[in-house]
Amino acid sequence: MANAFTAVNLSQLPPPVVVEQLDFETIFAEMLVDLQSRDPVFTALVESDPAFKILEVAAYREVLLRQRANESAKAVMLAFANDADLDQVGANSNVPRLVIIPGDPAAIPPTEDVMEGDEDYRLRILLSFEGYTTAGSIGSYVYHAISASGDVLDVGVDSLVPGRVNIAVLSRTGSGVPPQATLDAVIAAMTAEIVRPLCDTVEVSGADVVNYQITAVLDFFPGVGQQQALNN
């Protein structure tokens, strides 16, 4: 959905330099060389030597420490953050995670809120920068529409007539046809004065859901689990 907008494609970014590629053997070898340079008595170490074992433990702990540093660095990056870390990243852009299904504390047993998944939330955070414009860009309309309700799975935006914007809404529930409450939430979000350009008329409707069935013929090579492939 974001490929038509100015939003960055996170999958195309190079790996962050701050995240190290870790190798136990390399770290152990470096520590061994360091130890031997400090005291020549350790130049003839063998694996059965207690000092060798101590170095192995130290190298392993070093790997764990560096891995923790890697995870800490990735936890503040939009492309890699998950769960509560992603909520913190979203808070930096004033984009809270949506409630998909409200919980019921009075139910027996009580149910908790079903929250927006990480990947959908990550995309909304990325698209939030599109929402800063009031020039009526596609990205701006998409961001505000998918943020209007947790029931909005996706939206389509087009403008076949100048000044008239059509927004089709796909629901997360049922067949995908949104209930009126979802449409009303999107309409309210899209017609707000801080969102809709003065000269645009916005029309919101449910998406036309087309049901289809795929028939496929699979050719299996010998040794492949046919039933497992069919089940998947």
Amino acid 211: pLDDT: 87
DSSP state of 171: E
Among left, alpha and beta (phi > 0; psi -120 to 50; other), residue 177 is beta
In the block, tokens 């076949």 appear at: 160
Amino acid 155: pLDDT: 94
Distance between CA atoms of residues 36 and 183, nearest Å: 71
Angle at 164 between CA 160 and CA 165, to 5 degrees: 80
DSSP-derived 3-state class of residue 92: helix
The single-letter code of the amino acid at 151 is D
Six token digits for residue 205: 């409707």
Amino acid 41: pLDDT: 80
Domain residue extents for the chain: 17-74, 83-206
Distance between CA atoms of residues 123 and 82, nearest Å: 12
Question: For residue range 13-65, what is the model confidence (pLDDT) as tens digits?
Answer: 888 999 999 999 999 999 999 988 988 888 877 788 888 899 999 999 999 99
Amino acid 109: pLDDT: 92
Amino acid 116: pLDDT: 94
Amino acid 171: pLDDT: 95
Amino acid 223: pLDDT: 66
Question: Which parts of the chain have pLDDT scores under 70?
Answer: 1-6, 134-136, 223-224
